[in-house]
Structure 1
Amino acid sequence: MWMNIEGHDQLAQRFAHVLGEGRLASTYLFVGPGGIGKRLFARRLAECLFCSQSIDSDLTACGQCESCRLMAAGNHPDFLEVGLLKDKRSLLLEQFIGDKAHRHQEGLCHDISLRPYLASRRVAVIDNADTFNTETANALLKTLEEPPPHSLLILIGTSESKQLPTIRSRSQIVRFAPLQPEVVARLLLETGEVDNPQVATTVSELAEGSLDQARAMADEQLWQLHTTAVELLDRRVLDSVRLAEVVHEYSNAAGKDAEPRRQAMLRVLGLVARHYRRQLRHDPNSPVAPYWIAKIDRCLDAEMHVVRNVHLQTVIQAWADDLARA
């Protein structure tokens, strides 16, 4: 197991080979489900690149040198990290080029252009790349097109389809596979997030290899919703009114603020899409398979509407009605 990260040894070997041949790209886009270790992999990769005792082709870190100690403490001067700020739904322009009073004097694009302080290169990790808007992506464009010497950018998202063309076309894409269900179950039990082995096994199978999804599904309220929703979804005639009521109740229970309610709805949409994907995998030649696919697509459309802050009650009712019609 490379650097204590589960499930991605082949990717580590691939990076070791690339480094050994001196072919490391300037920009990578890591894509894959949430909760499978993409951000941790990026940090561990940076740690190996910074380590003064490491040989690139080995892709290891000693854990003892100054760079390794600084990475462990979270304050290495050559490691930059940007992600969603609290209560924000997209990456902000100021995070990349500074606020209006300090344009191009602060922010990631400025910082990555500076010479390394300690290591041989600077590494920047941009989390939540799915949330780039056009203006912010354009601010990063020059850095992507003309990367500073001795720099590495790693962007982290969930899928290629959610990336803007300006980002996707200028990055080498690295696809991360979901974790195996038994790995997810073991991690849930080891961390104490789930204490019942049967529950850990069940939610891990439903989570499709995502530790984040497994954690969410271990929540008692979501588990109850799952049970009710599946019973409704499997009926010959879907009761869209009842489905909408159940989902409304769950999202409203998340709190009065809009953002927790949106996040609750996104969890529901992921749960329903996974339900239909499981049916599709179980019987891909079923005569109703095209309808399952249509329902999965409708869940993805609804996710987009939720992210774009469309009125939540309208999204829920329209989504439930469309599932019933399909």
Structure 2
Amino acid sequence: MTILGHQRILELLPRLNAQTLLFTGPEGVGRRAVAQWFARGLNCSQGFPPCGHCEACRQTPPADYREIAPDLETKGGKRARAPQIRLEQIAPREGEEGENLLDWISTYPRYRVKVATIDGAHLLNESAANALLKVLEEPPAYTRLILIAPGRETVLPTLVSRSLEVAFAPLPEALLRTLSPDPEVLGFAEGSVGKARWALEHPAEFAQLTGRAEGVLEALRTGPAPTLEALRLLLELEGGLSYLSRRLRQAWDPESPRYRQALQSLAEAQDALEGYVSEDLVQTLLALRLTRLSP
């Protein structure tokens, strides 16, 4: 298993004895890939780096590895505005079926160590976080737990205090150029290998995202109504608002008060959508604000 970058972290992890690690850093920078690499190394017959050939290394997903992440869709099949990791993913809950983290770690590993990754520890709801805290207080000796979050400040202090932070930084552009020299892909990635690979593996979707963002910038010159229509199209796509903020930084002066106010408007719109405020209301207000701020 090849990891792009993060050599210092790969050298450090095998020497750490902490049972709970907190991987912080930007989305797509490689935290999940390193968590899987770590799980393979812990169970590899030859240790670190994992050999890739022994019985444990050949398991896909890695042997004795479990990943828990928030549901990105509602039960009705729509994209969740505010994804959460729920209690039943962490501990048993009456009326809910399916294996949970507590049940999984209560059984011995097939090889040496069980590794559980909570991908989105900042998205644990209150009951799930409380259940996870009990796991962190007395984890079985054969387990390692990895929490993944944007930053330590986004995770409950009670969880942070029981974890050892491992901070991931964006990858240098020179490394990402080994994947693609395309400046549009590199600009979109912003140091994230996950974003770069997504753009390369989904060229049609990437072109749609860039095209709709350009449509918003063009509509801003003509008024609120065209901007609203363009925003509606862009917000149908995952990550539309965050990509628009990057395009605004390129199109506007990033030092200007207008740009800072636009970023604030985008952040408020994202918070409102996650709070289940009416989509039409959020989009209309955002269109008005961006049109007013447009140079």
TM-score range, shorter chain: 0.7 to 0.9
- Structure 2 SS opposite 1:66: coil
Question: What amino acid does structure 2 have at the position aligned with 1:302?
Answer: A
- Structure 2 SS opposite 1:109: helix
- TM (norm. structure 2) is 0.80
- Alignment partner of 2:93 out of 94, 99, 117: 99
Percentage of pairs with the same residue: 34
**C-alpha deviation, 1:272, in angstroms:** 2.2
In the alignment, which residue of structure 1 is the partner of 2:115?
A: 123
Structure 1 CA distance for aligned equivalents of residues 283 and 96 of structure 2: 42
- Structure 2 SS opposite 1:34: coil
- Structure 2 SS opposite 1:68: coil
1:125-164, Cα deviation, whole Å (9 max, x unpaired): 1223342211211111111223322321112233445434
**Unaligned ranges ≥5, structure 1:** 190-196, 252-260
- Alignment partner of 1:298 out of 265, 268, 273: 265
- Alignment partner of 1:242 out of 226, 233, 238: 226
Structure 2 CA distance for aligned equivalents of residues 248 and 148 of structure 1: 49
1:263-315, Cα deviation, whole Å (9 max, x unpaired): x2x522111222355579xx77x4x2x44333323322322332333322222
**C-alpha deviation, 1:116, in angstroms:** 3.2
In the alignment, which residue of structure 1 is the partner of 2:79?
A: none
Structure 2 CA distance for aligned equivalents of residues 179 and 270 of structure 1: 19
In the alignment, which residue of structure 1 is the partner of 2:184?
A: 202
Structure 2 CA distance for aligned equivalents of residues 292 and 145 of structure 1: 45
The answer to whether 1:151 aligns with 2:143 is yes
Change (3 A) 1:99 1:213: same
**Unaligned ranges ≥5, structure 2:** 75-82
Structure 2 CA distance for aligned equivalents of residues 83 and 299 of structure 1: 25
Paired residues for 1:3-14 under 5 Å: 3-14=1-12
Paired residues for 1:255-270 under 5 Å: 261=236, 264=237, 266-270=238-242
**C-alpha deviation, 1:75, in angstroms:** 6.1
In the alignment, which residue of structure 2 is the partner of 1:315?
A: 282
CA contact (8 A) 1:182 1:204 kept: no
Paired residues for 1:228-239 under 5 Å: 228-231=215-218, 239=223
- Alignment partner of 2:58 out of 55, 58, 69: 69
Structure 1 CA distance for aligned equivalents of residues 154 and 279 of structure 2: 21
CA contact (8 A) 2:91 2:102 kept: yes
CA RMSD of aligned residues (A): 3.1
CA contact (8 A) 1:31 1:159 kept: yes
Structure 2 CA distance for aligned equivalents of residues 75 and 292 of structure 1: 45
In the alignment, which residue of structure 2 is the partner of 1:173?
A: 165
CA contact (8 A) 2:23 2:31 kept: yes
Change (3 A) 1:172 1:230: farther
In the alignment, which residue of structure 2 is the partner of 1:192?
A: none
**C-alpha deviation, 1:178, in angstroms:** 1.9
**C-alpha deviation, 1:185, in angstroms:** 4.9
CA contact (8 A) 1:129 1:156 kept: yes
Question: What amino acid does structure 2 have at the position aligned with 1:272?
Answer: L
CA contact (8 A) 2:173 2:191 kept: yes
Question: What amino acid does structure 1 have at the position aligned with 2:121?
Answer: A
1:100-141, Cα deviation, whole Å (9 max, x unpaired): 1589x952023224333421x221112233422112111111
- Structure 2 SS opposite 1:44: helix
Change (3 A) 1:35 1:118: same
Question: What amino acid does structure 1 have at the position aligned with 2:278?
Answer: H
Change (3 A) 1:28 1:303: farther
Structure 2 CA distance for aligned equivalents of residues 323 and 163 of structure 1: 32
- TM (norm. structure 1) is 0.73
Change (3 A) 1:247 1:182: farther
